[in-house]
Amino acid sequence: MKTALARGFQRDETEAPRPPFNCFAIFFRGGRRKRTLAGTRARGHRSGVTGHEIREALEAAGVMPSRQLGQNFLCDPNMARWITEQLEAGPGDTVVEVGPGTGALTGHLVGKVRRLVLVEFDSRLAAWLKERFAGEPSVEVHHADAVKFDARTIFKHRPVKFLGNLPYSCGGAILRNFLSRPNPYERAVVMLQKEVIERLAAGPRTKEYGVLTLRVQSEWEVRPLRTVPPEAFHPRPQIDSSVALLLPRGKSLPAFDARRFDELIRRGFAQRRKQMGKQMPASPPWEEVSRVIGAGPAARAEELSLGQWIELARLYDDHPLRDLPQKADELFDVVDGEDRVTGQATRGEVHRQGLLHRAVHVFVVNRHGELLLQKRSRFKDAHPEVWDSSVAGHLDAGEDYEPAALRELEEEMGIRGVGIEEIGRIAPSERTGWEHVRLFLARWDGVPRFPSAEVEAALWMKPEELQAWIDAKPDDFASGFLECWKVARGG
């Protein structure tokens, strides 16, 4: 079984690695080092860094800011202090800061939080930050493109908050990489050009309202806080910036398929002046859908509220289990300690009485050796809102293990036509929910499609990163999955 699992997690090395996309790709002309790095580092440890010191730091790092890509560095210490205060970061928090530059915001957080993860594109600034915070074990600096940064590495650091003085050129792409579903953040404070913040916070029937608005607002409540004038930056930009607070929506919205939602808003706003009926799927018919959501048959994309767009995603979701997290009257086989059938009972009876029954878990692994995880929906009757195996479910009365595993693959992740192999058996216990569990392995490289009532999100994870996450935050996972993970790892 270990051999089969090792094969499953082995990366396909025949695939050539792709070079990373750099949205900041530009040639920076390095200046002469008139100031020593040690001198600017010493001054930089103070919370308030002046504009003069920001310029010294840039010169020491050999960086000439680029107006073309909106490389403007915050140099107002009072503004920097105020921005970091909006995070409400405490000693138990991790803060991920994108675009730290010379550390104008970072300096106000060092020593006040458990961990600071800095993501800086420019190699010279990243090296300068490493030098500046060399004596601070809580600070880790990543030289990386924030658009392509592997945000999955952040889950193990929860609780996490996000901070960003984001570049004007690709701030939206950075937000999508870090703050789309699924993400680990409890709060986010971002600074962008004022017009982008206005788009994030826009309401229907305005010119700012569009795809970016709905993508962000479907996951976050956006609260614009303050305009930041050009003189707060070096060099001065030609436009105002704004700061916004983003708070997770949590349970305030019904379950919906985020992928279908994104498809529909892109359709709707592709030609925003056209009537919606000409851009939506053929079934169900627009006349019926528009009546249900309370929109006129001639409605246009910019006229629909967030709630109406989400209801559209639900109405156009054709998954048969879209509204069924589980059924209490499902019938299961009740078994004894030797896994012999002794009778039948409903799901509700089995769980209330702690009766022994049967279940399957499947670990789906892709060609990169990553394991597919699912986040259970808030509507599940057991282990809601925690991470679990790729698929997991009970055997119906009279059903055998392998057919149940194949059925669950199709129902929960839309995976069909794959081979599976059994790699482990787990005896019933409180941690398995009194289930006899058989664990299967499947190889698959597609895009999962899951019912939103059952599964909130899916995420591919590298085994070593997943183990670090489990070690740091075991309560993020269903106990049955943790038992399967031990078997899969040979524990």
CA 49 – CA 396 distance, rounded (Å): 65
Please give the pLDDT value at position 168. 73
Tens of pLDDT, residue by residue over 210-221, are 999 999 999 999
pLDDT at 11 over 90: no
Tens of pLDDT, residue by residue over 127-184, are 999 999 999 999 999 999 999 999 999 999 999 999 999 887 788 999 999 999 999 9
Please give the pLDDT value at position 51. 61
Confidence of residue 6 (pLDDT cuts 50, 70, 90): low
pLDDT at 238 over 90: no
pLDDT at 233 over 60: yes
Q: What domains does the chain contain, in order, with CATH numbers?
A: 31-248 (3.40.50.150), 258-315 (1.10.8.100), 331-488 (3.90.79.10)
Please give the pLDDT value at position 72. 81
pLDDT at 17 over 80: no
Please give the pLDDT value at position 383. 77
Please give the pLDDT value at position 52. 66
Please give the pLDDT value at position 167. 82
Confidence of residue 4 (pLDDT cuts 50, 70, 90): very low
- Rounded mean pLDDT of the chain? 88
Predicted TM-score (pTM) of this structure: 0.86
Give 123's Cβ-side CA count (13 Å radius): 7
Torsion angle of the four alpha carbons 371, 376, 382, 386, in this order, in degrees rounded to the nearest 10: 70
pLDDT at 100 over 80: yes
Please give the pLDDT value at position 45. 46
Q: What percent of the chain has pLDDT over 90?
A: 73
Tens of pLDDT, residue by residue over 249-268, are 988 899 999 999 999 999 99
Please give the pLDDT value at position 25. 26
Please give the pLDDT value at position 380. 74
Lowest mean pLDDT among 170-174, 381-385, 464-468: 381-385
CA angle 99, 103, 105 (to 5 degrees): 85
Confidence of residue 444 (pLDDT cuts 50, 70, 90): very high
Confidence of residue 10 (pLDDT cuts 50, 70, 90): low
pLDDT at 28 over 90: no
Tens of pLDDT, residue by residue over 392-417, are 999 999 999 999 999 999 999 999 99
CB atoms within 10 A of CB 290: 22
Confidence of residue 481 (pLDDT cuts 50, 70, 90): very high
pLDDT at 76 over 70: yes
Confidence of residue 16 (pLDDT cuts 50, 70, 90): very low
Please give the pLDDT value at position 327. 67
The residue-averaged pLDDT of 326-349 equals 91
pLDDT at 15 over 70: no
Lowest mean pLDDT among 250-264, 323-337, 378-392, 424-438: 323-337
Instruction: Retrieve residue 230's tokens.
Output: 């050009």
Q: Who wins on pLDDT, 459 or 36?
A: 459
